[in-house]
């Protein structure tokens, strides 16, 4: 409802406006219920009974056994695979593009890395082929982050020439599960008006959560990513000292945190952890609240990077209960 006019308004307007404001390089935006749905909608609307040209090195498995080739072929599109697992050149794409091409697909492998004798074609080069380029950036990073220089973001990808960008609303964006579609107004409108879009429509709670995420100055995900190692060390040392006052011996050790969650594979963040005997792992994990650490070389490491500072007393109380 538009409160100003008293008439029905576009569903999800606040979330859509917030997404458009966050990525001004996108002429139009749309939302669906998850990242895979965004790609399925694009393939159905733009390439049903046509070809999608994609590098063999980017035919990824996205989780829970679901594979990108199966997902795309279920839409009625035909995959035209080019290149090899480790190397693909612009000439490979150019040789495959033809009258049956629906679009060229660029997929960011957001949960693994291939290193060594490799090459891939950037979006800017693919945009010279004369057909639509759809870029699945995966992790939902909307703008460049200096901490993650190798992670593609929506704004930069659009400026490089992608006609359509698909991404997740959770992961690095830090919002609810959702699928983001950003790009050329005519393509986004085709997707929005396709009958499948109704089946993939995002629910109102997700719209509200995504709008809140985009309006917020920061998110728990961003705070955890950018936590300052010195501050983490000081917090961990205070927790160690408080435990020591209660007769529980713990150590503070350097730690390497990873981004995880389908984003920035291979990136490690300098951090610090509280080190406890391994026997603490299971009772902490199954306690209330559950506290998850990782076991390394016979020790349980609790890295406070993803723990809000005001929860430190709860962590301390749980450790003391296990040690009692």
The per-residue pLDDT for 1 is 75
Residue 261: pLDDT band by 50, 70, 90 thresholds?
Answer: confident
- How large is the average pLDDT for residues 4-24? 92
Residue, of 120 and 5, whose pLDDT is higher: 120
Strands 61-63 and 66-67 come out as antiparallel
262 has pLDDT over 80: no
The per-residue pLDDT for 8 is 84
Q: What is the pLDDT of residues 113-169, one digit of tens each?
A: 889 999 999 999 999 999 999 999 988 999 999 999 999 999 999 999 999 999 999
Helix (H, G, I), strand (E, B) or coil at 61: strand
The per-residue pLDDT for 113 is 87
Contact between residue 92 and residue 80 where contact means Cβ atoms under 8 Å apart: no
Residue 110: pLDDT band by 50, 70, 90 thresholds?
Answer: confident
The per-residue pLDDT for 90 is 98
The per-residue pLDDT for 172 is 94
For 124, residues 6+ apart whose C-beta sits below 8 A from its C-beta are: 160, 161
Helix H or strand E segment including 277: strand 268-277
For 262, residues 6+ apart whose C-beta sits below 8 A from its C-beta are: 63, 110, 111, 138, 139, 168, 171
266 has pLDDT over 90: no
Q: How far apart are CA 226 and CA 269, in angstroms?
A: 9
64 has pLDDT over 90: no
The per-residue pLDDT for 277 is 97
Where do we find the tokens 């603490």?
280
Q: How far apart are CA 296 and CA 274, in angstroms?
A: 12
Cis peptide before 289 (omega within 30 of 0): yes
Which range, of 47-61, 257-271, 273-287, averages the lowest pLDDT?
A: 257-271
Tokens of 128: 């010279």
Q: Percentage of the chain with pLDDT > 70?
A: 100
The DSSP secondary structure of 115-144, one letter per residue, reads -SS-B---HHHHGGGSS-EEEEEES---S-
Residue 265: pLDDT band by 50, 70, 90 thresholds?
Answer: confident
Tokens of 63: 């989780």
Q: How far apart are CA 69 and CA 72, in angstroms?
A: 5
Beta strand segments in 169-207, E = 179-183
Question: pTM of the prediction?
Answer: 0.93
Domains in the chain and their CATH numbers?
13-220 (3.40.640.10), 227-323 (3.90.1150.180)
């Amino acid at each position: 409802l538009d409160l100003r006019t008293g008439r029905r308004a576009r569903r999800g307007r606040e979330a859509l406006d917030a997404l458009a404001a966050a990525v001004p390089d996108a002429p139009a935006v749309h939302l669906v219920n998850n990242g895979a749905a965004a790609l399925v909608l694009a393939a159905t609307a733009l390439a049903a009974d046509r070809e999608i040209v994609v590098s063999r090195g980017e035919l990824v498995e996205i989780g829970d056994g679901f594979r990108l080739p199966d997902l795309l072929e279920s839409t009625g599109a035909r995959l035209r695979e080019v290149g090899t697992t480790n190397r693909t050149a612009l000439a490979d794409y150019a040789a495959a593009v033809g009258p049956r091409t629906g679009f060229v697909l660029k997929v960011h492998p957001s949960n693994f890395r291939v290193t060594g004798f490799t090459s891939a074609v950037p979006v800017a080069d693919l945009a010279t082929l004369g057909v639509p380029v759809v870029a699945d950036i995966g992790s939902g990073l909307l703008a460049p982050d200096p901490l993650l220089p190798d992670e593609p973001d929506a704004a930069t990808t659009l400026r490089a020439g992608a006609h359509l960008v698909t991404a997740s609303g959770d992961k690095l964006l830090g919002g609810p599960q959702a699928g983001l579609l950003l790009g050329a107004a005519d393509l986004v409108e085709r997707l929005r008006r396709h009958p499948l879009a109704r089946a993939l429509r995002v629910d109102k709670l997700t719209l509200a959560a995504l709008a809140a995420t985009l309006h917020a100055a920061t998110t728990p995900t961003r705070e955890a990513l950018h936590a300052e190692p010195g501050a983490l060390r000081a917090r961990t040392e205070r927790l160690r000292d408080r435990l020591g006052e209660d007769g529980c011996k713990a150590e503070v050790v350097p730690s390497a945190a990873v981004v995880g969650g389908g984003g920035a594979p291979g990136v490690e963040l300098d951090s610090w952890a509280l080190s406890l005997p391994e026997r603490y792992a299971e009772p902490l994990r199954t306690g209330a609240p559950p506290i998850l650490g990782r076991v390394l070389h016979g020790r349980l490491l609790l890295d406070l990077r993803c723990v809000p500072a005001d929860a430190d007393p709860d962590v301390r109380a749980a450790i003391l209960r296990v040690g009692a």
